[in-house]
Structure 1
């Protein structure tokens, strides 16, 4: 993945405004590889502050694995493979493991897809097919590679697994970094020379051969030739079967082997005299490659051979081959094979026809016929383009449908998350209601306790003053108002600021001593009006047994003092 990360800037460098980088991860399993590539893309965009869109298509046959990938929940064991920075940036830690963040999950579209049968994604910039080819047969591997080759842009990249590779002689891909299994598609058609738009054909034991040149007009056309199984090898490394085929080719009349669509499969060396290739893209259609003088007769013979399924012979045709005029008879023989096909033989007019067959009447090569042929060719071309556009549209609609399905699943997942959140909020609200009820009960109890305490202090009629640790007034009873000249706003004033008629200069010292020693103090004090009080100073203890200040109480003992004075006077008499 380090080598893959190094080539990512090249993918973005080729994009114009509005373009998107498209990635296809084939056989994505549970999504680890798709999310890894998404992280690399996201990091590149974050580093370069780029705005290019990224579309990642991840496909697999296993729908259960696709569902797991869409969830994006992985066990804690990924800590061994993912750096702490990426875990923090791209994952949420949950009770069951690490979940991929929504922003990264929205970059990847997961879909059930068969790479051997279903239409491929198109315009792919990066295709990843790791650890899939090793489980396939050679034929299936070729089909997968041809599908990937068709789906990729010419500047795209193919990323394979460490145990997989592409043959160096392959016509589909060439290596960019062989050590790390990075490849680029080769230009031109696929290996079989046909359009691999939706399904790659089966390839069973083929070898490559080239037709000899016939003048300057004949291009070197690569065609597939079914290989003959050889029992041994002859001179020069050729099998006896190949030597036999070469000898027959030299002795037999010129011939061309066609498939059911009139595409050339094999051309004998002598038949190249009757073929003409113009400039431009090579064609495998025999009707486009034969000399104009025999095209109409050949087309008619192929039609009758396909309709009546018998050998067809044409009338002698005058053909200009090089600088000589020749009379040629065409013989078309349909093949008794499941795939169908034809064998076209070119014979001299005076040569025996061999097998009996249907003799066609002479075909007049008039301007009207040529005009109809050109019109038919044009209509076929238009029809082919229409079919290609239709197939492309179907592919795009299918991809759009898959995207909409993925979006629908995301919305369904979001709805479930919202429902879960609503249930959690409802549970929290019920807890709050319960807590509020408990608090209300406690507040009511506290109010009742305050009422009881207030009534108790009013009922005792004992002047009482509560001070904090700084000897500031915190509470006082109504009886204290006349003794200290207090009002409600005096709460918080220091004891030294209070005026009192008491003849008690040791009041502050006694309060400080009780606070330090925690020993209660009692003292009889009088006032300027002749009243006497028993002044008691005690520490103020909280329910947690913490000293929060002192309590001053003044019990009126005037009557007791007067009685003691009267008793003393009586005793003195």
Structure 2
């Protein structure tokens, strides 16, 4: 796009494009300033790859998705918490205290955030009011109506969930009180969130929210042309309650509307509804030169007919005005809910029917904000002294030809008979379903029983096969056991023969050892007696079963073992050396005798080294009178495994 195209005046093709968006999607941008509007439309056209309005209009007609991209480009939803902090400080310190001072302790507080985008301004207002009033009073008294024409922005606002970057402008003390961190996002408190009602509203053509103590419409008028600004300001003036406050954007002024708005803080663009401007029946321009209070097509004398027709209606009906004042009650509603003509002019919330048999106030607010009917099915009403009645309640907004809200109609359709018939049908259907389910259950049980029997037969067959296999295994094991028994008999015979051989060998060895004329003793490394021959018995008088297993040093045999121990130790150290010594000992008869002890080592058949000692044989000693001339020689062998 060249500079000449950007600066040119809107032509017929551009107006055709605006009219198409208004007629096909209900978004009327014809009141916006053409310079900024053309700049944004051309920005989107460049991004989509089109040079002329005609080509782009053809693309819009063929592609419904392009509308969303175009609207997001035109409707720049730039907002944040506490945007222009000094202005919000003024709202906190001056406006909110003034509103609370002018209202009674139980009076409701109504706020309208027009052009709320993704909801930050509405939640900012909620935090300021909750801080000033306290959470309990806030929940009971405050309603904040937040409107916009961008459905995507409203959907985001309803979630009340924001990224960490979006809440950076919230003071830390308020962030910790009014937001809960869920994963990586911050969610506004649910108990206070219920006081903020989001709905679609086009400031240019839809009826405004009425009786608002504070209207916030920031940075919206700046995109509108002068005529549309006058129309919107008329609606905002109509929306304000007496002495209500209007909060505009930093770049917006009300230079030509001093008769309607008086500056409260001009620096921060805060205005108050001018005194006396609300007197009489309020009117606002609907954009076509007429006012919301004008009516067309009335015929003289129809009012009584309308009144009688309404009163005689067979369906209970109540009509309330835009400020929830009861305007009309027909005879059926009076008899059904115990109302009378004296209730006309009262606030609906003061009547029992507003909350019994069902809470109606929320549905009324929804109907007024969204301009859509609501249906409440299956409402039970327990009348005194009679059976319960069932109603289907329709809440219908009453709007004029310009979608201006005149009031709300509440219609109670008695569906008791239909409900009873439906209950009977449901009961019969339930009985049939129960019978069918029971039959189906029986069939399933039979199938299950059949399957179980089939499974049992298969298990018995399997068990029979296993028993046969087990029998075969037992027969095989019997044969193996018989074979093992034969082998054991053979081994037993061999062991018996070996035992006989060992016995014979043992007898031969015992005879050999006992036939030695020397006394022979075999000891292990711990000096425990392993062998004690007959020569030792004759020499010391101690039997073999008394000596074997006992330490040699513990035997009381008259042998000075302390003189013998070095010889035994030497035999273990060097098996190839023979050592001997002569000691004096006392024999079994108590006589002193000289003994020669010889010790030597030898190798066993397993390859280990043992020690061998030859000891004491009596021999004559001429110098010792107690020694016999007969030489007696005995030997002592000591051996132990290494």
Shorter-chain TM-score tier:
0.3 to 0.5
TM-score of the superposition, structure 1-length normalised? 0.38
The structure number with the bigger radius of gyration is 2
TM-score of the superposition, structure 2-length normalised? 0.34
